[in-house]
Amino acid sequence: MKKKDFLSIADFSESELIHILDVAQALKKELKEGGNKPILKGKSMALVFQKPSLRTRVSFEMGMHQLGGYAFYLSPDEVGLGKREAVKDVAMVLAGYVDAIMARVFQHQHLIELAEFSGIPVINGLSDYNHPCQAMADALTIIEEFGKLKGINIAFIGDGNNVAVSLMDIATKLGANFSIANPKGYDMPEEAISAAKEFAKLSGSRLVFSNDPYEIVKNAQVIYTDTWISMGQESEAEERKKAFIPYQVNQKLVDAAPKDVIVMHCLPSHRGQEITDEVQDGPHSRVIPQAHNRLHAQKGIMAYLLADL
């Protein structure tokens, strides 16, 4: 079988994405019914981190453990990816030790190089461009809530960032309608928009790009937000806070949406900035089940890449 990586939702067909989500659901059910079969027994994965993360580290380590494999954490100081050691050298060395690499990086180009030179599956745990593992967990959460993704109206409020890119990708690949409201100057990358428009032609998705959050939540079944200031953007913090104040997901905004709307956030959240406590802890919130689904979605991805499921 040709080596596969999981670098972007855009690289996968509708049928492949649905298959991975079906595997994730089956593994989640199996776990609840007594435990997963050790389908990754003898498999190992290096977890290469340039950026810290609670959910990414724990979900990958526990996911591999539950499937019978072994994953271990490599800190930024241990590897020095692209600084202490060239990315291609890290890729080639790790390929002689492990069966797969998960990397959480600043520059997307580092993932591309890891995939190019390693010869083993590489999973994108987050880059400056996208966050495909998060999007798979998001899709799983929406499907569990509404029984489907196709035709669901998703409204993203805030920065056109890496999380938004992957959410837009999976929405347009699988037929959900995607809207985003952001301040001027914080738009989605043009290359991501162009790709999503092509995906939408095939799936029947609708895309809306707006600067008015109240406009896009009117018919939303999902309101999604993310931090205004990501790691590496600390120097822009004050400027960003001023620009994004009208884009806070608060009770007033939620009340402008249909009564069955759910609220999602990839975490970590800055409570009182992009989302209020009232909303994050309220009845519409699915933030914690969404975080838990990182484990199950990533198990689907690992099973697909390493067990040919």
| Residue 3: inside a domain | no
| Residue 27: inside a domain | yes
Domain identity same for 227 and 260: yes
> How many helices (DSSP H) and strands (DSSP E) are in the chain?
13, 9
Calculated CA dihedral for residues 161, 162, 163, 169, nearest 10 degrees: 110
Domain identity same for 277 and 219: yes
Domain identity same for 28 and 103: yes
| Residue 282: inside a domain | yes
| Residue 1: inside a domain | no
Q: Where are the beta strands (DSSP E) in 111-241?
A: 122-126, 153-157, 177-181, 207-210, 222-225
- Complete edge-to-edge strand list for the sheet that includes strand 70-74: 70-74, 44-49, 100-104, 122-126
| 140 contacts 272 by C-beta, under 8 angstroms | no
CATH number, position 112: 3.40.50.1370
Domain identity same for 50 and 157: no
Under the phi-then-psi rule, with left for phi > 0, alpha for psi from -120 to 50, and beta for the rest, what region is 143?
A: alpha
Domain identity same for 34 and 124: yes
Residue linked to tokens 């967990």: 137
Total tally of structural domains belonging to the chain: 2
Report the C-alpha gap between 251 and 25 in whole angstroms.
Answer: 32
Q: DSSP states of 218-233 as a string?
A: TT-SEEEE--SS-TT-
Domain identity same for 264 and 146: yes
Domain identity same for 36 and 74: yes
Distances (CA, A) of 289 to 163, 254, 265, 295, 305: 17, 19, 11, 10, 25
**Length of the chain in residues, anyone?**
309
Domain identity same for 149 and 191: yes
**Which residues are designated catalytic?**
104, 131, 134, 226, 266, 294
3-state helix, strand, coil in the chain (%, to 5): 50, 15, 35
Report the C-alpha gap between 114 and 80 in whole angstroms.
Answer: 14
Res 234: pLDDT: 79
Q: Where are the beta strands (DSSP E) in the chain?
A: 44-49, 70-74, 100-104, 122-126, 153-157, 177-181, 207-210, 222-225, 262-265
Domain identity same for 146 and 270: yes
| Residue 2: inside a domain | no
| Residue 66: inside a domain | yes
DSSP 181: E
Report the C-alpha gap between 193 and 184 in whole angstroms.
Answer: 16
| 157 contacts 213 by C-beta, under 8 angstroms | yes
Over the chain (309 residues), what is each successive 10-residue block's mean pLDDT?
Answer: 85 97 98 98 97 95 98 92 91 97 97 97 97 98 98 98 98 98 96 98 98 98 94 82 97 98 98 98 98 98 94
Domain identity same for 92 and 202: no
Domain identity same for 176 and 242: yes
- Bridge partner list, 224: 156, 264
Report the C-alpha gap between 263 and 282 in whole angstroms.
Answer: 9
What is the domain extent for residue 113?
A: 9-131+294-306
Report the C-alpha gap between 246 and 210 in whole angstroms.
Answer: 13
Report the C-alpha gap between 303 and 309 in whole angstroms.
Answer: 6
Q: Which token pair is 268?
A: 């970590």
Orientation of helix 54-66 relative to helix 287-306, angle to 10°: 50
| Residue 4: inside a domain | no
Domain identity same for 102 and 199: no
Taking alpha carbons only, the member of 259, 280, 275, 18 closest to residue 143 is 18
